[in-house]
Structure 1
Amino acid sequence: MSAAFDTHTEGTVAVSTGEARDFFALLKPRVMSLVILTALTGMATAPGSVHPVLAAAALLAIAVGAGASGCLNMWYDADIDALMSRTAKRPIPSGRILRSEALAFGLTLSVGAVLVLGLVANMLAAGLLAFTIFFYAVVYSMWLKRSTPQNIVIGGAAGAFPPMIGEAVVTGHLGWHSLVLFAIIFLWTPPHFWALALVKSGDYARAGIPMMPNVAGPAATRRQIVLYSLLMAPVAVLPALMGFGGLIYLVASVTTGLAMIVLAFRVWRRTEGEPAVKAAYSLFGFSIFYLFLLFAVLLAENGLGLMVSLPKVFG
């Protein structure tokens, strides 16, 4: 692996110019905020309860673990990040943080987060967090991302694990609640990222990343976006049918799921020029709102007592 971002002349020592905000940027705070929400929802929907102090400590450990995996991802991807306009200003390719510093920072946070979660929760939760960090940093970043157009599909599992970790914190085991939440995030990931990839395919081509539009072509990518959206929307309704989502969630999941499908078909139909770019950006932006809304409603219903119960269909 290249050490291009740690180069220095003979007799000198490379020194980082990064500030605290640069190290915080290594943690991918926007991704970390989604992990906090989904993990907290996993805790809230789990059957059982945990002391609030332990829950807060566990959530902090999960957040730090997520940030650590993002940091390790930026450490490994510094070479290709420098080639893409979307990522060139990140702390490592811009030269504010040394690659070696990012590696040490990420590893330290990883070990600390797993140890803390094991102490305040249980070994299953800690083991799942460790596996999530490994999966994102090694399986996805080092292998899948640069080798297969299915990188987002398989690698999406890393972002889907937090609800399972949250349930494990509360119960010490895994159940259908968190598995359904895992499935929602897993099926959401391809249409979310492929919508952006349609617009940024030139960036990915320069970096040599085999994203779906660059390998299978834009038309095939659009069809896949529609397919995954059609699969995701009914799965997202399952929490209401299984009894851990209420009337508010049912309405939110059905209406926004239909909106996701409409936007996906719009991406499929608009294939050229500015309309195609706008359609892809619209789906990408709405998909973020969609996932945040679903988990925020579930959290409000289960954590804030806003549940309006529905007859349980199964589960």
Structure 2
Amino acid sequence: MTTAPTATVPLPAEWRDFFALTKPRVMSLVIFTGLCGLLAAPGSIHPVLGFTAILCIAMGAGGAAALNMWWEADLDAGMKRTAARPIPGGRMDPTSARDFGIGLSVGSVLLMGLGIGWLAASILAVSIVYYAVIYTIWLKPRTPQNIVIGGGAGAFPPLIGWVAVTGDVTLMPVLLFAIIFMWTPPHFWALALFVQIDYAKVGIPMMPVVRGEASTRKQILVYSILLLPVAVAPWFVGGTGALYGVVALVLSALFVALAVPVATRRAGEGDTMRPEKRLFSFSVLYLFLLFAALVADALVRQQGWLS
């Protein structure tokens, strides 16, 4: 953790810097999967309450991200990919980032509890603590399994969205959680393969740094294969229709197909990392399309268009 930015006197922070603390690219996926969980859940929710639930999910994710950047500011300063972030870039003092993260986090849980329900609020609180404390402070600097165990941090949004509508936890939202949990290792390790120099430089024990590329590539393939039955499981248990099932099967098969050249590629076979970058890019598209199919399937079944 750092208590001072790289610049001696931080420049006045702008709204863009506070927005950057929330990791907007990551948040877009968080908001989307949370919204899909909400829309696919059985039952209905008033649009204002639905908007409030998604807003709380976004606020909670943004708050956790801000706390992550506050804690890791010294690490971010040492990595080319993150050196321009608000704190290491000298545009914000750490205290402001910390207070912003705490404010968003606490506010999101209170608003969710008062406006939607305390079960959804409790799960949101767990997701914030999971990312900001368990993953950021405990797992990430200590074990190459940080992404495997920490994958739960990003898997909560569809579960929270579902619970916001139904008020209870059933098998379906747990399966949606499991999908993102299993998706996270191959997604993130594909990225880690082509930015591993940064992680090694600051001493973060990411899998390619600690276990080597060969082991990481094999595990990417293993998790990609394991993702397939988990992604299809909602159809198998009757929670979705064939539309989702077919889309999940096709997308997951493509995921495995793209993981194969990553797993079989040896070190030194070119330096462009094209298979790894291709898998990483597709993994983001995969999650968007999979959860979009979940919502489309729910709409089709609700309207009885395939009956």
Partners of 2:60 and 2:104 within 8 A in 1: yes
Calculate the aligned-residue CA RMSD, in Å. 1.8
Partners of 2:37 and 2:159 within 8 A in 1: yes
Question: By how many angstroms is 1:86 displaced?
Answer: 1.1
Output the CA distance in 1 between the equivalents of 2:228 and 2:192.
Answer: 21
Output the CA distance in 2 between the equivalents of 1:15 and 1:4.
Answer: 9
CA deviation digits over 1:142-188, x for unaligned, max 9?
11000000000111101001111112211221011111101110000
TM-score where L is the length of structure 1: 0.92
Residues 307 and 102 of structure 1, relative CA distance in 2, 3 Å threshold: farther
Q: Which residue of 2 aligns with 1:5?
A: 5
Which residue, 289, 292, 298 being the options, matches 2:288?
A: 292
Which residue, 265, 268, 281 being the options, matches 2:263?
A: 268
Output the CA distance in 1 between the equivalents of 2:74 and 2:37.
Answer: 35
Q: Which residue of 2 aligns with 1:201?
A: 196
Partners of 1:270 and 1:276 within 8 A in 2: no
Q: Which residue of 2 aligns with 1:11?
A: none
- Which structure 2 residue ranges, 5 or more long, are not aligned? none
Partners of 1:247 and 1:307 within 8 A in 2: no
Partners of 2:6 and 2:87 within 8 A in 1: no
- Which structure 1 residue ranges, 5 or more long, are not aligned? 9-13, 311-315
Partners of 1:246 and 1:301 within 8 A in 2: yes
Q: Which amino acid aligns with 2:3?
A: A
Q: Which residue of 2 aligns with 1:277?
A: 273
Which residue, 127, 132, 150 being the options, matches 1:132?
A: 127
Question: By how many angstroms is 1:64 displaced?
Answer: 0.8
Output the CA distance in 1 between the equivalents of 2:114 and 2:25.
Answer: 27
Output the CA distance in 1 between the equivalents of 2:44 and 2:15.
Answer: 36
Which residue, 111, 121, 126 being the options, matches 2:106?
A: 111
Question: By how many angstroms is 1:274 displaced?
Answer: 2.8
Q: Which residue of 1 aligns with 2:88?
A: 93
43-52 vs 154-163, greater mean Cα deviation: 43-52
Question: By how many angstroms is 1:299 displaced?
Answer: 1.9
Output the CA distance in 1 between the equivalents of 2:242 and 2:304.
Answer: 7
Q: Which residues of 2 match residues 38-57 of structure 1 at below 5 A?
A: 38-57=33-52
Partners of 1:188 and 1:229 within 8 A in 2: yes
Structure 2 residue 214 is matched with structure 1 residue 190: no
CA deviation digits over 1:269-305, x for unaligned, max 9?
1123436711111111110000111011212332575
Output the CA distance in 1 between the equivalents of 2:195 and 2:18.
Answer: 26
Which residue, 302, 309, 312 being the options, matches 2:298?
A: 302
Q: Which amino acid aligns with 1:3?
A: T
Output the CA distance in 2 between the equivalents of 1:269 and 1:142.
Answer: 34
TM-score where L is the length of structure 2: 0.94
Output the CA distance in 1 between the equivalents of 2:59 and 2:217.
Answer: 35
Output the CA distance in 1 between the equivalents of 2:10 and 2:278.
Answer: 42
Q: Which amino acid aligns with 1:78?
A: A
Partners of 1:187 and 1:232 within 8 A in 2: yes
Which residue, 166, 170, 174 being the options, matches 1:171?
A: 166
Which residue, 11, 19, 22 being the options, matches 1:24?
A: 19
Partners of 2:4 and 2:93 within 8 A in 1: no
What SS class does the counterpart of residue 147 from structure 1 fall into? coil
Q: Which amino acid aligns with 2:4?
A: A
Question: By how many angstroms is 1:306 displaced?
Answer: 7.2
Q: Which amino acid aligns with 2:291?
A: F
Question: By how many angstroms is 1:245 displaced?
Answer: 2.9
Output the CA distance in 2 between the equivalents of 1:33 and 1:95.
Answer: 26
Count of aligned residue pairs for this structure pair: 305
Residues 290 and 306 of structure 1, relative CA distance in 2, 3 Å threshold: farther
Output the CA distance in 2 between the equivalents of 1:303 and 1:21.
Answer: 37
Q: After the TM superposition, list the runs of 4 or more consecutive aligned residues in structure 1 that deviate by more than 4 angstroms.
A: 303-310
Partners of 1:247 and 1:308 within 8 A in 2: no
